[in-house]
Structure 1
Amino acid sequence: MSGWLTALRAIVLREALRFVHQRERFLAALVRPLVWLLVFAAGFRAALGLSIIPPYQTYITYEIYIVPGLCGMILLFNGMQSSLSLVYDREMGSMRLLLTSPLPRWWLLLCRLIGSTAISILQVYAFLAIAAMLGITVPWLGYVLALPALVIAGVMLGALGLALSSFIKQLENFAGVMNFVIFPMFFMSSALYPLWKMAESSTLLRDICAVNPFTHAVELIRFALYQQWNPWALLWTLLATVFFLALALWGYDPARGMIRRKG
């Protein structure tokens, strides 16, 4: 057990040091949601009407509505960024060295996932702090209750990144795959618009958004921020997490994944 904990500490510390030395990564993680919050929200505020929907008890401004979605954006982009570093580590050989450890492969991947998720959550709380300074706040207890939701959502999106990294052979191919995954997941979700609003223009689009795992991750965060429970969002997010983790473990299986592609 001490060996397992040593591996966990070493991998998480490595992720933390990498993050500290890449300050532009932290700034980029905050710039994206702040642009949406300060620029796009100002334009959409008058054009997009919002009805009273759970978990809100009254009418809200568009800025308040998109805060949970922007938290999800940070988790999503950081999950993809972490998977990019995995592809880089594999090309440099450090990932292959890590996977030669006598510890189980699933534990090593889980340690990497824990490290990237912890960094994502720190970025989310930094964004929430800036939003609070701008006057966009949630109930104070919501900041605490949102932590489990952020962990679950972060693990799910990080597992998606792990799965993608196991099937991408070259670093040059990663940008295209990221765009193919990130933007459809983000825009076809409830992060920026409620599902009932999408249904007004296209029922099919609303149905696609309703099965998007990112939608349920955002709703899990949204309800948690307002001290409410969303069991359906939790169930769907956990199922997606299990699926993405299983896919990642399959992809990193020596008999099928990156070890077989060694030559």
Structure 2
Amino acid sequence: MIWLRALVAILHREALRFVGQRGRLVAALVRPLVWLFIFAAGFRAALGLSIIPPYQTYITYETYIVPGLLGMICLFNGMQSSLSLVYDREMGSMRLLLTAPLPRWWLLFSKLLAGTLVSVLQCLLFLGIAALWGVRPPAVGYVAVLPAILLAGLMLGALGLMLSSVIRQLENFAGVMNFVIFPMFFLSSALYPLWKMKEGSPFLAQLCSFNPFTHAVEAIRFALYGQLNLPALGWTVLAFAIFAAAAVRGYDPARGMQAKKA
């Protein structure tokens, strides 16, 4: 089937690119490991944690931030994959891909899935390192968390795909990444519970609750402990649908945003 062949070809191309860019794997792991090994040690005494779901007892700060750091990996990789789309468009290979005799949404989804699978691999490697550091969720969590990571990666990758559809130059996209990544990451439950944020600023806590990254992190957190957080999953799916629809529209030369800039 031609659709499946196209998907396999795009997955193969992304795998070759990932293998050829070994520094990309190292960079993807260095960021969360710095938070786990260094920042967590400093925040452990300053940030007290109460017993909150899905945890059944008091936990260390390192244990709390691991789901958030998994989300960080998906967030940075989703943006980096979209950055490669802007590069491919400048080089002309993206235009060649989108002229294939297949629905545009399928080609974009294949590209999105390829980048997300890379995120899943990076997350698994990080979980292995975290286990060596002493952060070990239940064994069932290592399996249950895979769909949550995949969904989070798809949602964040679709966000990057949407941004790449409206930003035409590589330099501009690299700058916009910082304005997207850091507010999404810090205005979330990745580093601190929302109740802790609410103590300091109810307004910021409200912003965190509207942040789709917060819901992606909470879906990962609960899945890592073998539990299902339906509201978090629902909001993550909704955000993915919105971002993906906007990306498909943006890459449509007849209706999309790029046509307006032409």
TM-score after normalising by structure 2: 0.98
In the alignment, the residues of structure 2 paired with residue 259 and residue 183 of structure 1 have an alpha-carbon distance, to the nearest angstrom, of 26
Aligned equivalent of 2:94:
95
Tell me the residue number matched to 2:2: 3
Does structure 1 retain, via aligned residues, the 8 Å contact 2:65–2:190?
yes
Assess if the C-alpha contact under 8 Å between 2:250 and 2:258 holds in 1: no
Deviation at 1:150, TM superposition (A): 0.7
Q: Secondary structure at the match of 2:204?
A: helix
Residue by residue, what CA displacement relative to the aligned partner does 1:109-144 show, whole Å, maximum 9, x if unpaired? 000011001000000000000010111110011000
Corresponding position: 1:180 with 2:179? yes
Partners of 2:258 and 2:83 in 1: CA distance? 18
1:55-74 alignment runs, 5 A limit: 55-74=54-73
2:51 counterpart letter in structure 1: I
Q: Superposition RMSD on alpha carbons, in Å?
A: 1.1
Instruction: Give matches, 1:100-115, under 5 Å.
Output: 100-115=99-114
Matched residue, 2:23? 24
How far is the alpha carbon of 1:261 from its aligned partner?
6.8
User: Which residue number corresponds to residue 168 of structure 2?
Assistant: 169
Q: Which residue of 2 aligns with 1:82?
A: 81
**Residue 215 of structure 1 aligns to a residue in which SS?**
helix
Deviation at 1:24, TM superposition (A): 0.4
For residues 101-250 of structure 1, what are the structure 2 equivalents within 5 Å?
Answer: 101-250=100-249
Q: In 2, Cα distance between the equivalents of 1:259 and 1:180?
A: 21
Which stretch has the larger CA shift, 186-195 or 249-258?
249-258
Q: Is the 2:165–2:258 Cα contact (8 Å) retained in structure 1?
A: no
Shift in alpha-carbon separation, 1:259–1:185, aligned structure 2, 3 A: closer
Q: 1:257 & 1:12 partners in 2: Cα distance?
A: 26
Q: Does 1:254 align with 2:242?
A: no
CA distance in 2, matches of 1:92, 1:115: 20
Q: Which amino acid is 2:80 matched to?
A: Q
C-alpha displacement at 1:260, in angstroms? Answer: 3.0
In the alignment, the residues of structure 2 paired with residue 188 and residue 150 of structure 1 have an alpha-carbon distance, to the nearest angstrom, of 19
1:66 counterpart SS class: helix
Distance 1:262 1:196 in 2: 44
The DSSP-based 3-state class of the residue aligned with 2:190 is coil
Q: Give the whole-Å Cα distance in 1 for the aligned partners of 2:111 and 2:58.
A: 41
After superposition, what is the alpha-carbon deviation per residue over 1:205-245, rounded to whole angstroms, capped at 9, x for unaligned? Answer: 00000010000000000000001110100110000000000
C-alpha separation in 1, matches of 2:252 and 2:80: 22
The corresponding residue for 1:40 is 39
1:169 Cα deviation after fit: 1.1
Identity %: 72
Cα 1:215/1:262, change in 2 over 3 Å: closer
Q: Is the 8 A contact 2:253 2:259 kept in 1?
A: yes
- For structure 2, list consecutive stretches of 5 or more residues without a partner in the other structure: none
Q: Is 1:50–2:43 an aligned residue pair?
A: no
Distance in 2 of aligned mates of 1:89 and 1:176:
18
Mark the runs of 5 or more structure 1 residues left unpaired by the alignment. Answer: none
| Structure 1 CA distance for aligned equivalents of residues 216 and 199 of structure 2 | 23
